[in-house]
Amino acid sequence: MRKPLHIGVELLRRGHDNPEFAIGADLSPSGALVFSDAALDPSDYVVLRFRLPWSDDRYAFLSEVVRVQPAPEEETGALFGFGLRFLDVSPSERLGLRQELQDLPPAVPWVPQAN
């Protein structure tokens, strides 16, 4: 269940003192698509922190970068898109996210446009 969102998120990376702002483009109970200028590689690890606009719950998940692609910079203002897989989601957090997202419309797959 992947749902479209346009929310501000934070990426925390090893060796960086401050979180980096990014845009969450879609979210599921097991991962997210995030747009950022951060230079990440597949198999890198980050902590993704976010809060859903309609909820007081805050989330922070250790995540593995599983995909890197060019971002639609004119739409996102970012250079890269990252597919993240959450690694430390508890069953109760997974259920909570599923319930939070269930009423949103499904995501439309994003395909980079050829120039």
Tell me the percentage of the chain whose pLDDT exceeds 90: 41
Beta strands in 1-115 (DSSP E): 3-13, 20-28, 31-36, 45-51, 58-70, 80-86
pTM score > 0.75 for this model?
A: yes
Which pLDDT value is given to residue 4?
A: 72
Which pLDDT value is given to residue 72?
A: 76
**What CATH code is carried by the domain that includes residue 63?**
2.40.10.220
Classified as helix, coil or strand, 113 is coil
Structure confidence by residue, pLDDT tens digits, 69-82: 888 767 777 788 89
Structure confidence by residue, pLDDT tens digits, 44-55: 999 999 998 888
Residue 106 lies in a domain: no
Residue 28 lies in a domain: yes
Residue 107 lies in a domain: no
Domain that holds residue 75: 3-101
| The total number of structural domains that make up the chain | 1
